[in-house]
Structure 1
């Protein structure tokens, strides 16, 4: 018997945590325009100190999609959501 499917738009910090939790009981399809996760830590630095954020490099706080074991249960789709 197949599990119910859920589409989750946004795979940032909170979206990934939510998707991993939901993946226990549902077939989760995650929608994100980027293939990896950009940590909220990087966003905080870029907003608070833009000059410092540019020097740290764009890949400083990026996490590849396959880095977490439970995230493997989430089927990512790389696209943008235009309306809901």
Structure 2
């Protein structure tokens, strides 16, 4: 299957499921975000997704970085005990 064939298939499957704007990079964003939320290591993420530059996990994880930072602050509670 070609790259364009995968793109077409993802769009069809998304439409059939009632999900708009389905594309492979959306999966990468979601996967990177959930990986980091779960405490996953950036190096392991790079290895799993075939990335050789730290720019890739930074880019794909940036869409939800603020959410992860807020979750970490809530978990650590630094400043709550002052």
Task: Tell whether the structures are fold-level matches, with TM greater than 0.5.
Answer: no
Q: Which has the higher strand share?
A: 1
Question: Structure 1 length normalisation: TM-score?
Answer: 0.23
State which structure, 1 or 2, has the greater radius of gyration over its C-alpha atoms. Answer: 2
